Structure 1
């Protein structure tokens, strides 16, 4: 007899983290809607189209140093040049410069017409002859020395940023220097979250026996804010089928993505898995990482779904390692901002069973002999302190076993989501 629709359970398959990420990335497409925002609201937004400069930077030939603008070919040993004016930043010298003459110039000032070189003020001897200033240059300067040419930094029409670039603080300064008051960006991805469980209490209430405080929702919301998405917090729900199904309905209409923790393992005594099978197309996976083996991914109408493990550290690890790359693609980002693996000497023995890649929490530092790392006490997936006190993961490969102290290991510095 076929099973009822809500009881259908896909046989778990142990995937590597890389396989899980590849399968998810292959299915999602970036949001298409875009909007114009002013520079003051553009930080961490994703560009919807390439940004090309409409001007040259610099916009004109100018002095790279304080000194004297002259014609390099007119510099002769023992032959003074007459100073006929001053060029200041914002105040160009516009008169013609006769042969055998030069102009005092400050950094950033327009190079006067007909002159081709700047000699630093420290490299000339300034004298006064009959109430007229002259300079004497004792060396032969090269043409264009200490001159910044128009368009040398950025040429008119040059692409400055590609579509999909996430705007950083320095980028805002560059955009402002090019005269952009606003830019077109992708709309923010909307990500809904909620917590479920009769054992959970909101922080601030009196803790009673058999209960714990709801922590996953707060750490997930903070990590998502670091990603630059709009968080839709649907709150803390009881273990009630109708309440949970109603929250799913809200997420499906209000958000692009829904992320939950707990309820995706076989045999868990809650309603999340049943509702998912009823409302959407969900894959229930076992991913070969520790912490974080149970994981779900799929779609609820037009809302993507990620089901994370319930243990706090496992939820954090899977959100950062598995979900983050997919959310970045959905947001329209092109760049992979995950820090690269580094090599470090571990000062302590490491315990591990082969079978799953292990993301142990650690603290790394630069020692006299190079990069060092140590673990931070218990690696229990229920202890958020192991994340809060760490600055990196010690990444042990899937088939690796325990290692003695002094071994070189791979470490992954925390991404911006946790720093």
Structure 2
């Protein structure tokens, strides 16, 4: 039975999108760089701009398999094949009155001004080339430097090195790249009830799913994890753990114990060691989210993100608020939050005072996306979150009506 506690409007909560903007504004890139090979560069962030070391392509080359020729020498009698140019060959001269058999990527012979695809060519009994259709000067020739010129910008500082960026660097012969060092994140769970997966459970104990989930998310984000394990709900234990994390990490992330109950000791300890920038966001799930710091200030100390203990609330807090902060600390431009309208396939009563993020799947049966609930919407129900394609974002105090359009955020955007 629902007691209705979650429906009680809490004054003083920060708007979700205001909280996101504050997280992005507060993020400062970590200091320190290193050089890594391209094989180690996937997912890293470029520490400095990278310029082209050569023209690309380095010479005029053929865009396809075919025949290179001078247009002025095209004849109804056909052209003899006087040259063969494979990929990797040097630049050759095209003899007068003939054409060259050429292959994709091979240098266009000097004197040729067009390449005709082999599909538009026929050979007579004497092996002479006859061309079908019209052909213009420069056809099917990739010009030297048409993609980049030596000295031009290839990648700006702050670019994330994905597969395409790495391929671009490799195409210029670049074997190493300067990157921002990995962000060190100290991760800890709080709660006397938490035990490790695989341990024998007794009534009242709960397997620690948050730390497993956040370990995976931090790995996807390219962070270096410092796993502090489970910390008991005791002020002294929390004080020691936070102090050690402050001195060893660039960012501290914890889950649980951040609300205002008698056994929630995280906030008082944070305030002893530093302070709270904000606590409480008008979203469901995820209301207890907090941004704090250990040390003198948010900018001079070690930032701390306190996520709720309920696993779905923790996941939502990571995806919408913590991840853009992490990206900013990595020197990246935080990815914008994608949001577009989809039709609701259900009716549901709205939440007072908070935006609600409903876990939904998209049904494309009708040809247009219809959002349907992925399952139970409790903040402890990971089953729905694991199946969801994204979130239907419902403004505070608004009911969901079947057939109406509402804002939708795809969950896949957060894997970047």
The answer on whether the counterparts of 2:277 and 2:293 sit within 8 Å (CA) in structure 1 is: no
Deviation at 1:417, TM superposition (A): 4.5
| Residue of structure 2 equivalent to 1:7 | none
Query: Which of 349, 374, 377 is the matching residue for 1:351?
Result: 349
The answer on whether the counterparts of 1:344 and 1:409 sit within 8 Å (CA) in structure 2 is: yes
Q: 1:138 and 1:293 mapped to 2: Cα distance?
A: 69
For structure 1, the 5+ residue unaligned runs are 1-10
| Residue of structure 1 equivalent to 2:189 | 195
Aligned CA-pair RMSD: 2.0
- Summarize the Cα distance change of 1:139–1:99 in structure 2 as closer, same or farther, 3 Å threshold: farther
Deviation at 1:221, TM superposition (A): 1.4
Note if 1:407 corresponds to 2:404: yes
| Residue of structure 1 equivalent to 2:318 | 319
Name the TM-score, length of structure 2 as normaliser: 0.91
Name the TM-score, length of structure 1 as normaliser: 0.90
Query: Which of 143, 153, 164 is the matching residue for 2:147?
Result: 153
The answer on whether the counterparts of 2:344 and 2:400 sit within 8 Å (CA) in structure 1 is: no
| Residue of structure 1 equivalent to 2:120 | 123
Of Structure 1 and Structure 2, which has the larger fraction of its residues in strand?
1
| Residue of structure 2 equivalent to 1:163 | 157
Q: 2:120 and 2:359 mapped to 1: Cα distance?
A: 57
Q: 1:408 and 1:156 mapped to 2: Cα distance?
A: 50
| Residue of structure 1 equivalent to 2:275 | 281
> Following superposition of structure 1 onto structure 2, how do residues 256-295 of structure 1 map, counting pairs within 5 Å?
256-295=250-289
Deviation at 1:128, TM superposition (A): 5.1
| Residue of structure 2 equivalent to 1:205 | 199
Q: 2:81 and 2:314 mapped to 1: Cα distance?
A: 71
| Residue of structure 2 equivalent to 1:393 | 391
| Residue of structure 2 equivalent to 1:35 | 34
| Residue of structure 1 equivalent to 2:379 | 381
For structure 2, the 5+ residue unaligned runs are 1-9, 296-300
Q: 1:20 and 1:277 mapped to 2: Cα distance?
A: 20
> For residues 53-97 of structure 1, what are the alpha-carbon distances to aligned partners after superposition, in whole Å with 9 as ceiling and x for unaligned?
111221111111222211112223x24323222111112463x43
> Following superposition of structure 1 onto structure 2, how do residues 359-374 of structure 1 map, counting pairs within 5 Å?
359-374=357-372
Deviation at 1:225, TM superposition (A): 1.2
Q: 1:12 and 1:262 mapped to 2: Cα distance?
A: 21
Note if 1:136 corresponds to 2:136: no
The answer on whether the counterparts of 1:224 and 1:417 sit within 8 Å (CA) in structure 2 is: no
- Summarize the Cα distance change of 1:12–1:43 in structure 2 as closer, same or farther, 3 Å threshold: farther
> For residues 311-356 of structure 1, what are the alpha-carbon distances to aligned partners after superposition, in whole Å with 9 as ceiling and x for unaligned?
1111111111111111111110025154x21322222112212311
The answer on whether the counterparts of 1:59 and 1:151 sit within 8 Å (CA) in structure 2 is: yes
| Residue of structure 1 equivalent to 2:72 | 73
| Residue of structure 1 equivalent to 2:48 | 49
Deviation at 1:116, TM superposition (A): 1.2
Greater mean deviation of Cα atoms: 363-372 or 38-47: 363-372
> Following superposition of structure 1 onto structure 2, how do residues 331-342 of structure 1 map, counting pairs within 5 Å?
331-336=330-335, 338=337, 340-342=338-340
The answer on whether the counterparts of 2:394 and 2:400 sit within 8 Å (CA) in structure 1 is: no
Secondary structure, counterpart of 2:160 in structure 1:
coil
Count of equivalent residues: 402
Secondary structure, counterpart of 1:370 in structure 2:
coil
Greater mean deviation of Cα atoms: 390-399 or 21-30: 21-30
